[in-house]
C-alpha cells in the first residue's frame, strides 16, 4: 500500500514539474510582447521577462533531480520487497526453516565436495500424531518450533536444514566425514531429548518427545537416491524402538 501511494506521489510530482516548464515556455513569447508594448518601467519588465523563465527552468530542474532520486529509491524499495517475498516463499512460516522449495533452491547451488562427503539426515518426531491427538495442534505447533530450533542449533551454519513436511525434517551436511556426520546426528537426537517436552503417547507410557534419524551419503548429486536411502534408514530406526540413529549401509546388519 505504501509503495502504491509513493508511486502515485512520484507520478504527480513529475507531471507538476513538466507542466511548469511547458506553461513557461508556451506563455513566454506572448508575455514578452506585452512587456515591450508597455511604455512604463520597461527595464524592470525586461528583467522580469528574463528572470521568470530562468526561475521556472531552475525549479523544473530541481524537481526533476528530486524525482530522479525518488525513482531510484522507489526502485530499490521494490527490488528489496521482491527479494523479501522470494525469501519468504522459500521458508516454512511455522519453524523458520527452509521448505521444500527453499531446499530445492539450495540443492541447485550445492558446494562441491572438498574434504569428506555430503550426508543427508532424514528425521521424524516419534509418535507425533499421538502427541497432537493428546495435547492438541497448538501444543503440537509449539513442539515443532522447539524441535526445529534444537536441530538448527546442533548443526553448522553452512549446513542446510529444512522442514520436509509435517513432523519430518531434513539436514544436509556438507563436506563432512562419516564420523562427524554420526556425531552431528547424535547431537541432534540428544538436544531434542533434552528439551524435556512431556509426551504421553499411550496410557501406560510417559516419556519425552524424541526423534529418530536415518543417515545416507549424498553421492553423484543424486538427491532422490540419497533421500530414498535415508528414508529406509529412518524407517528401520523407528522399527528398532525409536529415539535411534541408523546409517543406510547398516540396514542389512541392523
Q: What local confidence, expressed as pLDDT, does residue 222 receive?
A: 75
pLDDT exceeds cutoff 90 at 124: yes
Interacting residues of 168 by C-beta distance below 8 A, sequence separation 6+: 122, 123, 124, 125
For residues 76 and 18, membership in a common domain is answered with yes
Average of pLDDT values for 36-51? 57
- Cβ-Cβ contacts under 8 Å for 46 (sequence gap 6 or more): 35
- 94, pLDDT greater than 80: yes
For the chain, first and last CA: distance in Å?
A: 59
Assess whether 45 and 140 both reside in one domain.
no
- pLDDT given for residue 151 in this prediction: 97
**Same domain, yes or no, for 71 and 193?**
no
Residues 222, 120 within the same domain: yes
pLDDT on residue 107? 79
Number of domains in the chain: 2
188: domain CATH number? 3.30.70.270
Asked whether residue 53 is assigned to any structural domain, the reply reads yes
Please give the mean pLDDT across all residues of the chain.
78
Average of pLDDT values for 78-106? 76
Per the structure, the complete domain to which residue 79 belongs is given by 2-89
Place 104 in a pLDDT band, splitting at 50, 70 and 90: confident
Percent over 70 (pLDDT), the chain: 67
The residue from 117, 167, 236, 249 that is catalytic is 167
> Is 113 found in the same domain as 48?
no
**Which is more confidently placed, 107 or 194?**
194
244 and 122, same structural domain?
yes
pLDDT reading at 228 higher than 70: yes
Distance CA 57, CA 92 (A): 54
User: Are 82 and 161 in a shared domain?
Assistant: no
**Which carries the bigger pLDDT value, residue 244 or residue 51?**
244
More confident residue, 5 or 46: 46
Asked if residue 132 and residue 84 are part of one domain, the reply reads no
Task: Give the pLDDT score at 120.
Answer: 94
Residue 224 grid coordinates? 532422490
**H or E element, residue 97:** none
* CB-CB neighbours of 197 under 10 Å: 20
Q: Examine the fold and report which residue of 45, 67, 89 is the final residue of a domain before the chain moves on.
A: 89
Of 52, 70, 89, which one is at a domain's C-terminal end?
89
Residues 108 and 141 in one domain: yes
pLDDT value for 2: 47
pLDDT at position 167 over 90: yes
Per-residue pLDDT, averaged over 67-81, amounts to 72
Examine residue 95 and state whether it is found in any structural domain, yes or no.
Answer: no
Predicted local confidence at residue 59, as pLDDT: 74
Catalytic annotation on 167? yes
197 lies in the same domain as 235? yes
The per-residue pLDDT for 72 is 77
The 3-state secondary structure of 100-156 reads HHHHHHHHHCCCCCCCCEEEEEEEEECCHHHHHHHHCHHHHHHHHHHHHHHHHHHCC
| Statement to judge: residues 122 and 234 lie in one domain | yes
Amino acid at each position: 500500500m505504501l509503495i502504491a501511494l509513493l508511486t502515485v506521489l512520484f507520478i504527480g510530482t513529475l507531471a507538476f514539474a513538466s507542466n511548469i516548464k511547458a506553461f513557461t515556455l508556451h506563455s513566454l513569447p506572448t508575455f514578452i510582447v506585452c512587456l515591450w508594448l508597455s511604455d512604463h518601467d520597461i527595464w524592470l519588465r525586461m528583467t522580469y521577462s528574463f528572470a521568470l523563465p530562468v526561475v521556472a527552468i531552475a525549479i523544473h530542474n530541481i524537481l526533476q533531480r528530486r524525482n530522479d532520486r525518488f525513482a531510484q529509491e522507489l526502485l530499490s524499495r521494490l527490488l528489496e520487497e521482491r527479494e523479501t517475498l522470494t525469501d519468504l516463499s522459500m521458508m516454512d512460516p511455522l519453524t523458520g526453516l527452509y521448505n521444500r522449495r527453499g531446499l530445492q533452491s539450495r540443492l541447485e547451488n550445492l558446494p562441491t565436495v572438498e574434504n569428506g562427503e555430503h550426508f543427508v539426515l532424514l528425521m521424524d518426531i516419534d509418535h507425533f500424531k499421538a502427541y497432537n491427538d493428546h495435547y492438541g495442534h497448538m501444543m503440537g505447533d509449539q513442539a515443532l518450533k522447539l524441535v526445529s530450533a534444537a536441530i538448527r542449533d546442533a548443526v553448522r551454519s553452512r549446513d542446510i536444514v529444512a522442514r520436509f513436511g509435517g513432523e519430518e525434517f531434513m539436514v544436509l551436511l556438507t563436506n563432512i566425514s562419516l564420523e562427524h556426520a554420526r556425531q552431528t546426528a547424535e547431537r541432534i537426537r540428544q538436544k531434542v531429548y533434552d528439551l524435556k517436552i512431556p509426551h504421553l503417547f499411550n496410557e501406560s507410557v510417559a516419556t519425552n518427545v524424541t526423534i529418530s534419524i536415518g543417515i545416507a551419503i549424498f553421492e553423484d548429486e543424486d538427491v532422490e537416491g540419497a533421500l530414498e536411502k535415508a528414508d529406509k534408514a529412518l524407517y528401520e530406526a523407528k522399527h528398532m524402538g525409536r529415539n535411534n540413529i541408523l546409517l543406510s549401509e547398516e540396514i542389512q546388519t541392523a
